[in-house]
């Protein structure tokens, strides 16, 4: 909110929302509504340079732009994770699964980058418009955290389990926010991505169980681990 011209603009941050949810849960607080306001002086009032305004059509374009940026960042993070997992795998079938998922991520990344370029081409000012969706932690953090765990040294079962958790959390994130948005290109991007992550999660769960069977992991041993079927 600009204290000089009194114009305001909205933004959405999953990272801020996550912190607020954590604070509320720690205090057993039932939140009804949250509101964060930043007061100061906007760029136009400070510099005299007129900032681009957002009408309905421009707002939807910015939303789609940001949704694609988040999807691209997530895909890059996933590609790094599966490439690393494939290089560490000792089970031939497990390595093949990780390589297939890495190839999927690479293909989807190319498709998303093409969609992004096509979107930007529709409006030469789109790149310069302020960010609306701030989802950096969710876009990069889920698979980045999984990659860090791989660096610690894990066996193939553990690597598959880490992949399941990453895909589960990514699916939940994109589904959660996709369901919240009104019908738009950004909403469709989020829900498409959620479905892709769900398919990857289910593939990993299947491979996890097959590897358990090949290794002869007993029921008692399985009960000491987080069951993949809970990753819904």
d(CA 192, CA 208): 25
Taking 70 as the threshold, does the pLDDT of residue 219 lie above it? no
Handedness of CA 229, 203, 155, 76 (dihedral sign): negative
Three-state SS for 224? coil
* Sign of the alpha-carbon torsion through 64, 34, 136, 167: negative
pLDDT at 54: 61
The whole-number average pLDDT for the span 149-172 is 91
Rounded average pLDDT over 97-114: 94
Q: How remote is the C-alpha of 41 from its chain's centroid?
A: 32
| Strand partners of residue 40 | 2
- Over pLDDT 90: what percentage of the chain? 56
3-state secondary structure of 40: strand
Helices (H), the chain: 14-26, 43-47, 56-88, 92-121, 136-151, 156-180, 185-215, 219-223
pTM above 0.85, yes or no: no
Q: Decide if pLDDT at 139 tops 80.
A: no
């Amino acid at each position: 909110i600009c204290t000089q011209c009194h114009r305001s603009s909205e933004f959405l941050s999953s990272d801020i929302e996550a912190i607020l949810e954590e604070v509320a849960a720690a205090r057993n607080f039932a939140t009804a509504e949250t509101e964060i306001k930043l007061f100061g002086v906007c760029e136009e009032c400070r510099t005299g340079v007129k900032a681009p305004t957002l009408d309905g059509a421009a707002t939807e374009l910015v939303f789609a732009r940001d949704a694609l940026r988040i999807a691209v960042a997530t895909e890059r993070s996933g590609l790094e994770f599966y490439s690393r997992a494939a290089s560490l795998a000792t089970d031939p079938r497990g390595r093949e699964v990780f390589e297939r998922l890495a190839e999927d991520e690479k293909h989807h990344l190319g498709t998303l980058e093409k969609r992004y370029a096509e979107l930007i081409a529709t409006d030469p000012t789109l790149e310069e418009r302020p960010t609306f969706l701030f989802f950096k932690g969710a876009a990069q953090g889920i698979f980045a955290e999984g990659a860090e765990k791989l660096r610690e040294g894990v066996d193939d079962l553990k690597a598959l389990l880490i992949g399941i958790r990453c895909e589960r959390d990514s699916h939940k994130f994109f589904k959660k926010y996709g369901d919240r948005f009104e019908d738009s290109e950004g909403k469709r991007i989020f829900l498409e991505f959620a479905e892709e992550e769900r398919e990857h999660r289910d593939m990993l769960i299947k491979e996890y169980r097959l590897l358990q069977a090949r290794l002869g992991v007993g029921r008692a041993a399985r009960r000491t681990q987080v069951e993949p079927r809970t990753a819904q």
